[in-house]
């Protein structure tokens, strides 16, 4: 980000995200179960170029005086994730200023946010898709749904990847900001705590630094079986969406390579789910105010848990006339939009994603060859 946007903007964006991280953590902490919050996010390398990038990244954090992240060398990775595949990592944890990195139960968090909104007077209407947004002569908009209509001075289109584009919101008002990229998550059957902790000894969730074919995972406690956990493991492949989602079998193979303990103990995958993420051209969101009273944020590119709270508060500040400058700062990060034409949009996405995916595959092949050579060399050594 520093290279693309310069130091000032990159650091302002970091601070805004950090503030929001605190906000999300504090909201989660309001529930007695803290939305199952568990501390720590481990960003790891599975190839040499990723390991070098991680070393560079941690230097930059140290230079900027950020204390919320620490470098984890190869010989300490297994304290967090017990696999031979990771080369090093950065542990994002938290600091005395209250930034808290970690993972939580997204449903419980969403329910918490809905309750907070309700408590300050928001009315939530489910199953009421907006079919039309019509500008009124006296100002404001008439927003129509099959269940009824409301007049609104401001309309926020926070409609994610599955945007049911209403009449009146054409592409010249809200451009196509993203293409859908599928991500798939597998969950094992419940695993006894001892074995689960043999695979993931720390509390942190983990995610590798691949630009394509990224894997991520964590342990989640099994509510109906105290002391048991499920290992969840996800995969996303930017190229794969252009094929269709990467086969679930492929992700399961990676999970089993990473954790041979699963085969050793005969642990099965029991649940699979997935969904689309709104991938923007640069993987950064888009925030616009195309007409007076119309706001739109999207393109969260699989990282909306914290960022939607940040972009939502920027829109709220703007509507309330609060001069926080958040909206203007975030707008400077806007990604270009895709063509309104769906096929052309896919061609544009393929042009960006294909070289990234090819490069990632080349990198992984080189890494596999390096590991095979290392294995041969150690096998050839006399005992």
Ligand X SMILES: Cc1cc2nc3c(=O)[nH]c(=O)nc-3n(C[C@H](O)[C@H](O)[C@H](O)COP(=O)(O)OP(=O)(O)OC[C@H]3O[C@@H](n4cnc5c(N)ncnc54)[C@H](O)[C@@H]3O)c2cc1C
Q: Cβ of residue 183: shortest distance to ligand X, in angstroms?
A: 5
The nearest distance, CB 16 to ligand X, in angstroms, is: 15
Q: How far apart are CA 357 and CA 226, in angstroms?
A: 41
Which residue's CB is nearer to ligand X, number 158 or number 242? 158
Task: Please report how close the Cβ of residue 274 comes to ligand X at its closest, in angstroms.
Answer: 5
**CB of residue 285 to ligand X, shortest distance in Å:** 8
Sign of torsion over alpha carbons 166, 171, 174, 180: positive
Supply the minimum distance, in Å, between the C-beta of residue 146 and ligand X. 10
Bridge-based pairing of strands 155-157 and 294-298 is parallel
Residues of the shown chain interacting with ligand X in the complex, contacts defined by CB under 6 A:
129-130, 158-164, 166, 183, 185, 274-275, 277, 298, 300, 302-305, 308
Count of Cβ atoms closer than 10 Å to residue 51 Cβ: 20
Query: Tokens 């989660």 label which residue?
Result: 28
Give SS3 for 344. Answer: helix
Is residue 247 left, alpha or beta, with left meaning phi > 0 and alpha meaning psi from -120 to 50? beta
- CB proximity list for 144: less than 8 A, separation 6 or greater: 130, 131, 132, 133, 134
- In the bound state with ligand X, the residue whose beta carbon lies nearer, of 210 and 308, is 308
> Closest CB to ligand X among 307 and 348?
307
Euclidean distance between CA atoms 50 and 40, whole angstroms = 20
**Cβ nearer to ligand X, comparing 252 with 367:** 252
**162 or 377: CB nearest ligand X:** 162
- The Cα–Cα gap between 290 and 297 comes to 11
- Closest CB 149 distance from ligand X, rounded Å: 13
**Closer residue to ligand X (CB): 94 or 285:** 285
């Amino acid at each position: 980000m520093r290279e693309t946007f310069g130091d000032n903007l990159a650091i302002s964006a970091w601070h805004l995200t950090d503030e929001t991280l605190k906000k999300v953590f504090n909201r989660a902490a309001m529930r007695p179960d803290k939305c199952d919050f568990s501390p720590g996010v481990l960003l790891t390398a599975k190839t040499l170029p990723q390991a070098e990038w991680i070393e560079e990244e941690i230097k930059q954090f140290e230079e900027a005086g950020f204390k919320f992240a620490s470098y984890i060398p190869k010989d300490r990775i297994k304290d967090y994730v017990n696999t031979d595949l990771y080369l090093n990592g950065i542990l994002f944890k938290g600091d005395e200023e209250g930034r808290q990195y970690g993972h939580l139960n997204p449903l419980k968090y969403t329910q918490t946010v809905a309750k907070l909104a309700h408590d300050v007077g928001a009315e939530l209407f489910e199953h009421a898709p907006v079919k039309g947004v019509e500008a009124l002569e006296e100002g404001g908009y008439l927003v129509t749904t099959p269940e009824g209509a409301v007049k609104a001075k401001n309309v926020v289109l926070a409609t994610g990847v599955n945007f049911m584009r209403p009449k009146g919101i054409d592409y010249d008002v809200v451009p196509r900001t993203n293409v859908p990229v599928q991500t798939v998550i597998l969950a094992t059957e419940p695993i006894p705590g001892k074995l689960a902790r043999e695979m993931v000894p720390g509390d942190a969730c983990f995610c590798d630094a691949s630009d394509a074919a990224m894997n991520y995972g964590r342990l989640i406690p099994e509510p109906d079986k105290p002391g048991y956990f499920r290992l969840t493991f996800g995969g996303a492949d930017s190229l794969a969406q252009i094929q269709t989602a990467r086969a679930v079998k492929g992700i399961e193979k990676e999970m089993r390579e990473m954790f041979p303990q699963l085969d050793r103990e005969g642990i099965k995958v029991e649940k699979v789910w997935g969904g689309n993420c709104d991938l923007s051209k640069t993987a950064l969101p888009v925030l616009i105010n195309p007409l007076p009273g119309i706001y739109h944020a999207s393109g969260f590119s699989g990282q909306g848990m914290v960022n939607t709270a940040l972009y939502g508060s920027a829109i709220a500040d703007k509507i309330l006339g609060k001069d926080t400058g958040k909206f203007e700062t975030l707008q400077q990060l806007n990604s270009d939009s895709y063509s309104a034409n769906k096929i052309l949009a896919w061609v544009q996405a393929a042009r960006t994603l294909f070289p990234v995916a090819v490069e990632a595959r080349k990198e992984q092949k080189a890494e596999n060859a390096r590991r095979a050579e290392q294995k041969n060399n150690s096998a050839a050594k006399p005992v």
